[in-house]
Amino acid sequence: MPDRVGETLTGAQLLWEALVREGVSVCFGYPGGAIMPAYDALPKYPIHHVLTRHEQGASHMADGYARASGKVGVCVATSGPGATNLVTGIATAMLDSIPMVAITGQVPSGLIGSDAFQETDITGVTLPITKHNYLVTRPEEIVPALREAFYIARSGRPGPVVVDITKDAQQQSCTFEWDDTPIALPGYRPDYSPLSEDLERALELINEAKRPIVFAGHGVMRGQATGRLLDFIQKTDIPVACTLLGLGGFPATHPRNLGMMGMHGEAWVNTAIQESDLIIALGMRFDDRVTGNLKNYAAEAKKIHVELDPAEINKNVRVDVPIVGDVRDVLGKLLPRVQPSDRSEWLGRIDALKGDAAVRDIKYMPDSGKLYAAHVIHDLYRFTEGAALVVTDVGQHQMWEAQYYKHDHPRKLLTSGGLGTMGFALPAAIGARFAKPDEEVWVVVGDGGVQMTACEFSTCAQEGIKVNVAIINNGFLGMVRQWQEFFYEGRYVATPMVSPDFCKLAEAHGLTGIRVTARSEVEPAVRKAQETDGTVVIDFRVEQEDAVYPMVPAGADLGDMIRRPEEPATDAKTKGPLSRALGHNPIFETGED
């Protein structure tokens, strides 16, 4: 591409020049009047544009691209309805700290404020759901605004930035200037370094603790601290619990990894948290889905909170030692000075808790001829060797995935944690696919959520890309149905859902559809999906009224879980619960995990 610095270019050209220089190679969008000058200039630039079927899809694709690659994701939309359709995806990215730049067209500057055709004050609308936003009305401002937007989106605690550009700014021309010096914004300092006195206090607590537990949050991955965390745990032998977005930040199969904490965390994890005497929280924010009732949350534990965003400290949970800084940096400073310690008593206690829970694990229950969602996910884990990039939607399937698909590597599970946005999975997976064209990408989605953004199947077809879509079809808005069962005396209001024939839907898009109704069909279906070119949709007809266990009801103490009912087993008299659970296991056709 010719270097056009110093030439007179239109605002539309400047936009793409800036994007190319920011390293953008793909963007996701949908055209319309106010952004047409930009689209008209696009073909001259080495940026692949993915035409989505809805702007919400574009925002989730940019988000999925960013989550999978660690780079800034870019989406583009026109003014008014185009811009407002991005809002859900922007809010999703905001709550999960995802670097994204959303570019919107705006009515000509002279018409702003006149309720012109397709005018929406999108900077006003997105003010509380962006890290920052810009309204650009002159071509001279386009390049600086975009440079700042990318810098703000990816630095510090990442987040989405909206750049709203008027149509006349795209049409007018000015000299293209590019300033390579680092951006200095007088009021923006994304980097914090920990205070040594705080590190000292943390070291004291860590070295004294008898029942410590480490929390691995999203910040471990975003801060590229996974290696350091592993070293830290190898040295200290402290068990690790993960948040939903932290899964994969510490290898799931590592003996010290307890799994996910919180509302649908395994019983041993939540009980261990309640019994711990020290919490070392890394890059997480004590969301209410993680803590339950704050009054009785980990009452005996001292708390160290390592977090890049000072506004998160003491927000939900009062901590003893706040350390504002980057997780990687902080772990690097603590690592040489933490002492190894004999943890056998504490680890033994946790093992005992685990044994009790394993009895109830659906994975170990005898095959009753029914297809359980947990079985599907567990099999998917086995047949993809735990190596797939899995994108989940929101609901029961999301929690089962978190429980049964063991992620050993970062950026292998993408899910909307903070906002819990149904409809996220399919478009986010398309975005992830562009970031990781060589990885096996699986969507795990409910029959409800898939229909929220099913129009993007058409995008898969047009782009000729492959994602495998596992629809966990229970005929209900499952998670809401579960709440109705537990907390509303089983009144299933507005949760039974009639769906189209998903196989035919896939075929109508020129994609492949497979239906699975029995456990024995899971493996062949997964294998066929793996072997087939192009997107494959598998309609898993699972048990309709299954529930996710354990469950901490909203607002209850973390230790107060609704436990998975213990299934009466036929050989209960001859075997103890543990051997029954862990011994010969009839549901595994292969006989092994």
Residue 127 binding partner per list another protein, ligand TPP, none, with a CB distance cut-off of 5 to 8 Å that depends on partner kind: another protein
What residue type is 513 in one-letter code?
G
Give 265 or 395: the residue with its C-beta nearer to ligand TPP. Answer: 395
Of the candidates 434, 420, 503, the one whose C-alpha atom is nearest the C-alpha of residue 469 is 503
Mark the segment that binds ligand TPP (CB under 6 A) among 109-117, 179-187, 472-480, 509-517.
472-480
As measured in angstroms, the least distance from the Cβ of 396 to ligand TPP is 4
Token pair recorded at residue 108: 């000509």
Based on the residue annotation, tell me whether 117 is a catalytic residue of this protein.
Answer: yes
How many other CB atoms are found less than 10 A from the CB of residue 370? 12
Partner whose footprint covers residue 446, from ligand TPP, another protein, none (CB < 5 to 8 Å by kind): ligand TPP
Which of 31, 57, 73, 194: binder of another protein (CB under 8 A)? 194
Residue among 188 and 383 whose Cβ is closer to another protein: 188
Q: Which of 32, 158, 219, 325 binds another protein (CB under 8 A)?
A: 325
Asked if residue 476 lies in contact with residue 496, where contact means CB atoms within 8 angstroms, the answer is: yes
| 122-130, 333-341, 512-520, 572-580 -> range binding another protein (CB under 8 A) | 122-130
Residue 508 lies near ligand TPP (rule: CB under 6 A): no
How many angstroms separate the CA atoms of 418 and 244, rounded?
9
Please identify which residue in 91, 102, 122, 152 interacts with another protein, judged by CB under 8 A.
152
Residue 351, Ramachandran bin (φ over 0: left; ψ between -120 and 50: alpha; else beta): alpha
Residues that bind ligand TPP (rule: CB under 6 A) add up to a total of 20
Q: Residue 319, interface with another protein (CB under 8 A)?
A: yes
- Which one of the spans 37-45, 440-448, 552-560, 566-574 is the region binding ligand TPP (CB under 6 A)? 440-448
Q: Does 258 bind another protein (CB under 8 A)?
A: no
Do 238 and 213 contact (CB within 8 A), yes or no?
A: yes
Stretch that binds another protein, among 94-102, 167-175, 190-198, 465-473 (CB under 8 A): 190-198
From the list 55, 266, 312, 456, the catalytic residue is: 55
One symbol per residue from 360 to 399: x for binding ligand TPP (CB under 6 A), - otherwise; what is it? ---------------------------------xxxxx--
Check binding of 87 to ligand TPP (CB under 6 A). Answer: no
Listed in sequence order, the residues at least 6 apart from 577 whose beta carbon sits closer than 8 Å to its beta carbon are: 359, 566
Choice from 449, 525, 538, 557 touching ligand TPP (CB under 6 A): 449
Dihedral sign for Cα 566, 572, 575, 580, please. negative
Question: Which amino acid appears at position 117 of this protein?
Answer: F
429 binds, among another protein, ligand TPP, none (CB under 5 to 8 A by kind): none
Q: Could you tell me the two tokens for 23?
A: 């390293």
Smaller CB distance to ligand TPP: residue 251 or 446?
A: 446
Task: Report in angstroms the alpha-carbon separations of 439 from 81, 144, 242, 260, 331.
Answer: 34, 35, 24, 24, 30
φ, ψ for residue 529, nearest 5 deg: -60, -40
Verify binding: residue 448, ligand TPP, rule CB under 6 A.
yes
The structure tokens listed for 202 are 């943390």
d(CA 21, CA 411): 25
Assess contact for 237 and 341: CB atoms under 8 A. yes
* Spatial distance between the Cα atoms of 48 and 434, rounded to a whole number of angstroms: 10
Q: Which amino acid makes up residue 212? A: P
Phi, psi of 528 (to 5 degrees): -65, -40
* 178 belongs to the binding site for another protein (CB under 8 A): no
Helix (H) or strand (E) holding 164: strand 160-166
396 is catalytic: no
Q: Is 118 a catalytic residue?
A: yes
Tell which residue, 156, 454, 197, has the closest CA to residue 307.
156
Q: CA 240, CA 343: separation in Å to the nearest integer?
A: 13
Dist. CA 448–CA 75, nearest whole Å: 25
Footprint of ligand TPP on 473-492 (CB under 6 A): 474, 476-480
Render 497-540 in DSSP notation, one character per residue: -----HHHHHHHTT-EEEEE-SGGGHHHHHHHHHHSSS-EEEEE
Q: Which window, 112-120, 191-199, 363-371, 445-453, contacts ligand TPP (CB under 6 A)?
A: 445-453
Region 408-437 residues binding ligand TPP, contact defined as CB under 6 A: 420-423
- We find the least distance from the C-beta atom of residue 545 to ligand TPP, in angstroms, to be 11
Q: Is residue 457 annotated as a catalytic residue, yes or no?
A: no
Cα torsion angle, 108, 114, 120, 124, sign: positive
Specify the residue, 27 or 430, whose C-beta has the smaller distance to ligand TPP: 430
- Smallest separation, CB 327 to another protein (Å): 14
User: Residue 370: which of ligand TPP, another protein, none does it interact with, CB under 5 to 8 A by kind?
Assistant: none
Beta strands in 167-299 (DSSP E): 173-175, 212-216, 240-242, 257-260, 278-282
* Nearest Cα to Cα of residue 331 among 257, 249, 454, 254: 249
Minimum CB separation of residue 370 from ligand TPP in Å reads: 16
Establish if 102 lies at the interface with another protein (CB under 8 A). Answer: no
Which of 138, 147, 315, 406 touches another protein (CB under 8 A)?
A: 315
The residues assigned a catalytic role are: 55, 117-118, 167, 479
Residues at the interface with ligand TPP (CB under 6 A): 393-397, 420-423, 446-449, 472, 474, 476-480
Question: By the criterion CB under 8 A, which residues form the site for another protein?
Answer: 123-124, 127-128, 131-132, 135, 152, 185-189, 192-195, 198, 309-311, 313-315, 318-325
